[in-house]
Amino acid sequence: MKKPSLSSLPTPKISTRLVCMLYEAVLLFGVAFVAALIFDVSTQSRNALTLRYAREFWLFVVLGAYFVFFWSRSGQTLAMKTWHIRVIDLERPKLPIVKAIVRYCLAWMWFIPGLAIAYQFELKNWSSVIAVFVGATAWAITAVFDQDKQFLHDKLAKTRLVIADEKPADK
């Protein structure tokens, strides 16, 4: 009997993936808070603007470690487990560490259009937040036009989000 291909596994609805991302943001708030606390204690920083770029880099690395650890280990973060979503590699059911790192870096592209708009028009405060939200919404819409309903960063990373209830084929 022929095993089903990984590309034939069902894709979760876009709305489910977006709600999962919101839940992930709530969880990441706690991760980022603890990471920032560790940074502030270790550098004896009393002001958020002190060592700003070092703090941003530290948070980028910590959040990356969170995602890469979960994606390469089980294909699911805590939020993805709740919403029964798994990320897989197109060639194998388990995501290699390198692909998880690439996917993490590409996922930041959600923010690039909005940040570019905010920079170009010198937007400040809430206007820049709205620009980033609009840019991220435009990025999410790319999945509507994809035949597999995958986000653009998944296409570029050659990964795929699938419903986790399905068992991936072993190779």
- pLDDT digits 0-9 by tens, 62-95: 999 999 999 999 999 999 999 999 999 988 878 9
Task: Give the Cα separation of 27 and 48 in Å (integer).
Answer: 21
Domain boundaries, the chain: 9-105+149-163
pLDDT in tens, 1-53: 445 566 678 999 999 999 999 999 999 999 999 999 999 999 998 877 789 89
- What is this structure's pTM? 0.85
